[in-house]
Structure 1
Amino acid sequence: METLGMSPSKEQEYKDIEADLKKRIEGEVRFDKYSRLLYSTDASMYEIEPIGVVIPRHKGDVQAVIEAANHFAVPLLPRGGGTALAGQTVGHAIVLDFSKYMNRVLEVNQEELWCRVEPGLVQDELNAHVRPMGLLFGPDTSTSNRATIGGMIGNNSAGAHSLTYGKTLDHVLELTVYLSDGSEVVLKDLSFGELGAKVAQDNLEGRIYREIARLAEEHKQEILARYPKIMRRVSGYNLDEFAKPKPFNLSRMVVGSEGTLACVVEAKMRLVPKPKWTALDVIHFEDDIAALEASHAILETAPYALESTDKLVLDLARGNIVQSKRLGFVQGSPSSLLMVEYAGDTEAAVREQVDKLEKLRQSRKIGYAATQAFKPEEVRAVWGVRKAGLGLLLGIKGDKKPIAFVEDTAVEPAKLPEFIKRFREILTRHDARAGYYGHCSVGCMHIRPLINLKQEGEVKKMVAIADEIAELVLEFHGALSGEHGDGLARSHFNERLYGPVLYNAFRQIKRSFDPNNLMNPGKIVDAPAMTESLRISPAYKTWAPETLLDFSGQGGFAAAVEMCSGMGECRKKLDGTMCPSYMATLDEEHSTRGRANALRAVLSGKVPNRDFSGKRLYEVLDLCLECKACKAECPSNVDMAKLKYEFLSHYYRANGLPLRNRLFGRIEKWNRWGSRLAPFSNWLANSRPNRWLLELLAGVDRRRPLPRFARETFEDWHRNHRPEGKESRGEVVLFHDTFNTFNTPSVAITATLLLERSGYRVVVPEKRCCGRPMISKGMLREAKENAAKNVQSLFPYAERGVAIVGLEPSCLLTLRDEYPDLLRTQASKLVARQSFLLEEFLLRERDAGRLSLAFKSNGRKALLHGHCHQKALVGTAPTLAVLRWAGFEVSEIDSGCCGMAGSFGFEKEHYDLSVAIANRRLVPAVQASGSEVRVVASGISCRQQIEHLADRRAKHPAEVLWEQVEK
Structure 2
Amino acid sequence: MNDLERELRRAVEGEVRFDTYSRLLYSTDASMYQMEPIGVVIPRHADDVQAAIEVASRQRVPLLPRGGGTSLTGQAVNRAVVLDFTPHMAGVLEVNQDERWARVQPGLVQDELNHRVRDRGLLFGPDTSTSNRATIGGMLGNNSGGAHSIAYGLTIEHVIELTAILADGSRAVFGEVTAEAFAAKTKAPGLEGQIYREVARIRGQYRDEIARRYRRHWRRVCGYNLDELIKDGPLNMARLIVGSEGTFLTVVEAKVRLVRRPTRTALDVIHYRDMQEALDSSQAILETGPYAVELTDKMILDLARNNIEQSKRMGFVQGDPAAILIVEYAGESDGEVKAKVEALEGRRARDRFGYASHIAYDAGEQQSIWKLRKAGLGLLLGMKGEAKPIAFVEDTAVDPKHLPEFVPRFRAIMAKHGAEGAYYGHCSVGCLHIRPVINLKTPRGLEQVEAMAGDIFDLVLEYGGAISSEHGDGRARSPFLERVYGPTIMRAFRELKAAFDPGNLMNPGNIVASPGVTEHLRYGAAYRTWEPRTLLDFSAQGGFAAAVEMCNGVGVCRKTLEGTMCPSYMATRDEEHSTRGRANALRAVLSGKVPASDFAGKRLHEVMDLCLECKGCKAECPSNVDMAKLKYEFLNHYHSVNGLPLRNRLFGRIAGLSAWGARLAPLSNWVAASWPNRALMEWLVGIDRRRPLPAFARQTFTDWFDGRKPRRDASRGSVVLFHDTFVTYNTPEI
TM-score by length of 2: 0.98
Which piece of structure 1 moves more, 309-318 or 691-700? 691-700
Matching residue's letter, 2:305: R
Note the 1:173-252 alignment, pairs <5 A: 173-252=160-239
Question: 1:693 — aligned with what?
Answer: 680
Which piece of structure 1 moves more, 339-348 or 196-205? 196-205
Question: 1:279 — aligned with what?
Answer: 266
Q: Tell me, what secondary structure is at the counterpart of 1:460?
A: helix
- Structure 1 stretches lacking a partner, 5+ long: 2-14, 748-967
Question: 1:837 — aligned with what?
Answer: none
Q: Contact 1:231–1:442 at 8 Å: present in 2 too?
A: no
TM-fit CA distance, 1:693: 2.6
Which piece of structure 1 moves more, 432-441 or 196-205? 196-205
Q: Contact 2:449–2:518 at 8 Å: present in 1 too?
A: no
Which residue of 292, 295, 299 corresponds with 2:282? 295
* 1:166 and 2:153 matched: yes
TM-fit CA distance, 1:705: 2.0
TM-fit CA distance, 1:674: 2.1
Question: 1:379 — aligned with what?
Answer: 366
Question: 1:623 — aligned with what?
Answer: 610
After superposition, the C-alpha distances for 1:691-712 in whole angstroms (9 at most, x for unaligned) are 3332232222232222222333
TM-fit CA distance, 1:682: 2.8
Question: 1:506 — aligned with what?
Answer: 493
Q: Tell me, what secondary structure is at the counterpart of 1:398?
A: coil
Matching residue's letter, 1:204: L
Query: Take 2:302 and 2:656, find their aligned partners in 1: how far apart are those partners?
Result: 46
Note the 1:343-742 alignment, pairs <5 A: 343-721=330-708, 723-725=710-712, 731-742=718-729
Query: Take 1:397 and 1:212, find their aligned partners in 2: how far apart are those partners?
Result: 49
Matching residue's letter, 2:129: S
Question: 2:45 — aligned with what?
Answer: 58
Q: Contact 1:578–1:633 at 8 Å: present in 2 too?
A: yes
Which piece of structure 1 moves more, 395-404 or 151-160? 395-404
TM-fit CA distance, 1:463: 1.4
Q: Tell me, what secondary structure is at the counterpart of 1:526?
A: coil
Question: 1:142 — aligned with what?
Answer: 129
TM-score by length of 1: 0.75
Q: Contact 1:141–1:158 at 8 Å: present in 2 too?
A: yes
Q: Contact 1:191–1:248 at 8 Å: present in 2 too?
A: yes
Query: Take 1:305 and 1:649, find their aligned partners in 2: how far apart are those partners?
Result: 49
Question: 2:732 — aligned with what?
Answer: 745
* 1:342 and 2:329 matched: yes
Q: Tell me, what secondary structure is at the counterpart of 1:564?
A: coil
Matching residue's letter, 1:148: T
TM-fit CA distance, 1:507: 1.1
Matching residue's letter, 1:79: R
After superposition, the C-alpha distances for 1:358-396 in whole angstroms (9 at most, x for unaligned) are 111111112111111111101101110110010110111
TM-fit CA distance, 1:54: 0.6
Query: Take 1:452 and 1:66, find their aligned partners in 2: how far apart are those partners?
Result: 39
Question: 1:756 — aligned with what?
Answer: none
TM-fit CA distance, 1:545: 1.3
After superposition, the C-alpha distances for 1:523-558 in whole angstroms (9 at most, x for unaligned) are 001100111111111111111111111111111111
Query: Take 2:307 and 2:485, find their aligned partners in 1: how far apart are those partners?
Result: 42
Q: Tell me, what secondary structure is at the counterpart of 2:162?
A: strand
Question: 2:297 — aligned with what?
Answer: 310
TM-fit CA distance, 1:687: 3.3
Q: Return closer, same or farther for 1:679/1:60 CA change in 2, 3 Å cut-off.
A: closer
Query: Take 2:275 and 2:642, find their aligned partners in 1: how far apart are those partners?
Result: 56
Q: Contact 2:410–2:456 at 8 Å: present in 1 too?
A: yes
Q: Return closer, same or farther for 1:696/1:62 CA change in 2, 3 Å cut-off.
A: closer
Query: Take 1:282 and 1:94, find their aligned partners in 2: how far apart are those partners?
Result: 46
Q: Contact 1:571–1:582 at 8 Å: present in 2 too?
A: yes
Question: 1:886 — aligned with what?
Answer: none
Matching residue's letter, 1:183: S
Query: Take 1:491 and 1:505, find their aligned partners in 2: how far apart are those partners?
Result: 15
TM-fit CA distance, 1:200: 2.5
Query: Take 1:107 and 1:539, find their aligned partners in 2: how far apart are those partners?
Result: 50
TM-fit CA distance, 1:214: 2.8
Note the 1:876-895 alignment, pairs <5 A: none
* 1:33 and 2:20 matched: yes
Question: 2:106 — aligned with what?
Answer: 119
Query: Take 2:629 and 2:709, find their aligned partners in 1: how far apart are those partners?
Result: 41
Matching residue's letter, 2:250: C
Query: Take 1:662 and 1:165, find their aligned partners in 2: how far apart are those partners?
Result: 59
Q: Tell me, what secondary structure is at the counterpart of 1:745?
A: coil
- Structure 2 stretches lacking a partner, 5+ long: none
TM-fit CA distance, 1:673: 2.3
TM-fit CA distance, 1:683: 3.1
Query: Take 1:720 and 1:728, find their aligned partners in 2: how far apart are those partners?
Result: 18
Matching residue's letter, 1:555: G
Note the 1:75-86 alignment, pairs <5 A: 75-86=62-73
Query: Take 2:503 and 2:676, find their aligned partners in 1: how far apart are those partners?
Result: 64
After superposition, the C-alpha distances for 1:138-191 in whole angstroms (9 at most, x for unaligned) are 000011111111100000001000000000000001111122122211111111
TM-fit CA distance, 1:733: 3.8
TM-fit CA distance, 1:198: 1.3
Q: Return closer, same or farther for 1:66/1:701 CA change in 2, 3 Å cut-off.
A: closer
TM-fit CA distance, 1:431: 2.2
After superposition, the C-alpha distances for 1:210-256 in whole angstroms (9 at most, x for unaligned) are 22233233333322332222131111110012121131121112100
Question: 2:245 — aligned with what?
Answer: 258
After superposition, the C-alpha distances for 1:876-910 in whole angstroms (9 at most, x for unaligned) are xxxxxxxxxxxxxxxxxxxxxxxxxxxxxxxxxxx
Note the 1:866-881 alignment, pairs <5 A: none
Q: Contact 1:216–1:240 at 8 Å: present in 2 too?
A: no
Query: Take 1:74 and 1:695, find their aligned partners in 2: how far apart are those partners?
Result: 43
After superposition, the C-alpha distances for 1:662-716 in whole angstroms (9 at most, x for unaligned) are 1112211212222233333333333333333322322222322222223333333
Query: Take 1:499 and 1:725, find their aligned partners in 2: how far apart are those partners?
Result: 89
RMSD: 1.5
| Runs of 4+ that moved beyond 6 A | 726-729
Matching residue's letter, 2:689: R
TM-fit CA distance, 1:488: 0.6
Q: Contact 1:106–1:115 at 8 Å: present in 2 too?
A: yes
Question: 1:105 — aligned with what?
Answer: 92
TM-fit CA distance, 1:728: 7.7
TM-fit CA distance, 1:202: 4.0
Query: Take 2:159 and 2:700, find their aligned partners in 1: how far apart are those partners?
Result: 65
Q: Tell me, what secondary structure is at the counterpart of 1:734?
A: coil
TM-fit CA distance, 1:720: 4.0
Q: Contact 1:69–1:75 at 8 Å: present in 2 too?
A: yes
TM-fit CA distance, 1:63: 1.3
Identity rate, percent: 65
Query: Take 1:721 and 1:46, find their aligned partners in 2: how far apart are those partners?
Result: 65
TM-fit CA distance, 1:727: 9.1
Q: Contact 1:327–1:381 at 8 Å: present in 2 too?
A: no
Query: Take 1:77 and 1:386, find their aligned partners in 2: how far apart are those partners?
Result: 31
Query: Take 2:32 and 2:64, find their aligned partners in 1: how far apart are those partners?
Result: 18
Matching residue's letter, 2:95: V
Matching residue's letter, 2:126: P
